[in-house]
Chains A and B, each alone.
Chain A
Amino acid sequence: MSGTAGTPAADGPYDLLLLAAGDDVAVAVRDLAAGPWRTSDGRVLRTSGPVRLGHKVAVRDIAAAEHVVRSGMSIGSATAPVAAGDWVHTHNLRSDYIVTFAHRGGEA
């Protein structure tokens, strides 16, 4: 893991990648500890906990039952209120098609 809590890494232009303008979530480009990180659209977002590479954090507050948009398309509905900076995964997002099957809620 590069970077430590509260210290944005200096070896890349951003830490959280927003895939499309208007997306509700951004993707961690490396394993990140809790803390303020740079987004690819030039903002700073404080993550509320660690986020692993490839995982998502909310870039805005999301209400329960709201659709969550990534790459401009809905990837499911929030099952609980999500605050900006929270990790978004199987504990607070569900498919609108077929239920996700995962060990330990996908927490690895």
Chain B
Amino acid sequence: MTTSPAPLLGYPRSDGRVGIRDVVAVVYLVECARVVADAIAAGRDDVHVIGFGGCYPSAYAYRMLEQLCTHPNVGAVVLVSLGCEGFDREALARTVAASGRPVTTLVIQALGGTRSTVARGRAWVDATRARSARGRMVPFDLADLVAGTICGGSDGTSGITANPVVGRVFDRLVAAGGTAVFEETGELIGCEHHMAERAVTAELGAQIVGRVEKAAAYYTAMGHGSFSPGNAEGGLTTLEEKSLGAYSKSGSGPIHGVVTPGQPIPAPGLYLLDVVPEGPPRWGFPNINDNAEIAELVAAGSHVVLFTTGRGSVVGSAVSPVVKICANPETYRRMSEDMDVDAGRILEGREGIDDVADEVLDLLHAVAGGRPTASEELGHREFVLTYKSSEPTGPACLPTVR
């Protein structure tokens, strides 16, 4: 592995994990509180807004925000409540406080409205930031890292260049003792039996096949697969063709488990995040866009997300940096300011998959050490969380075999 010898320093958390960023999360607990949350965070690069827009309670949204508020990249939390929404703000505040993080809950109705709540929030963030600046940092290495991956704006080049590069990075990260998460069973339709052969137990393999079949049934009920018009314009013809390209992001190593959104990853290894709900479709598509998936990868514990794109995406994320790996050389030339890595040079025969994987590992090291990614520098902190039903997986999906 060609990582730089410089030791990495990160932010220690009480659960033993180490953050590569020290973000203050300002969390709106209903859409009615979002503008107040935005105003509390305005103008501060290390204060990120996340939240849930719905007024009715959702066990899924609760688990997601619980994981995000106790994510290693988050150092302090401001909960912003209108006052009458269904979200259990007291329970979330208790969980965050128990994790050792500073937390405050601002209830807009009780504080007298917009201006007073914003002023209170900004003052709390200032005071908390001043204290956290004196905190100690601890050494860590790639074995402590969790990396997620997603492809967005895929085209015919994604599965040839950027996705196999991520696969190679994942193989090496997991071999080094780290953790890697890939996702979207609906984008793995056609690859289920190959994945099952990579599962560390036969029972896990059967779970994977069943979960992909569930995804196929779900998307069929939705009317079409996870396949956008831009995918076809970029040269991808069928869902299974897109799948085999997407699948190459998972590398070639053993698959150690399956988790669902809002469920933390229990041990190092390679994991499939099954984002498709159980049972009949209830609230529409499993994820309405790439950022809803990124939020789930981050909630799973990803310190960083490797985002491959052929057509070109500009998005980043709240909480965790997004590294953009561009598969298509023409897209890279057109949108280079939004990209971190030019994997299209593989297509043109200028370099091999391993060369670009080396570059990504070096970059991963640098980003873990604090270097901002393109999307961070450009201010991208997208966050999407909607209604969904999801159930945590059980022992069949989480064998302890390594």
Contact = CB atoms under 8 A, between A and B. Distances in A.
A and B pair up = yes
Nearest to B241: A75
Contacts of A106: 229, 232-233, 237
Contacts of B189: 97-98
* B: contact size bracket: 35 or more
Interface string A45-76: 00000001111100000000000001101111
Contact of A54 (B157, B190, B229, B240): B157
A21 interface: no
Contacts of A71: 159, 244-245
B80 interface: no
A76 B240 contact: yes
A99 interface: yes
Given A27-B235, A75-B244, A93-B238, A99 B328 contact: no
Nearest first, the 5 A-B pairs at minimum CB distance are A54-B156, A106-B232, A54-B235, A102-B232, A75-B241
Given A70-B244, A71-B159, A102-B232, A76 B237 contact: yes
B349 A99 contact: no
Interface string B309-327: 0100000000000000000
Interface stretch (B10-18, B216-224, B363-371): B216-224
Contacts of B155: 54
B241 A89 contact: no
Interface of B: 155-157, 159-160, 189-191, 194, 216, 219-220, 224-225, 227-229, 231-241, 244-245, 310, 328, 330, 347-349
A89 B347 contact: no
Contacts of A28: 156, 235
Contacts of A108: 233
Contact of B224 (A19, A74, A76, A99): A99
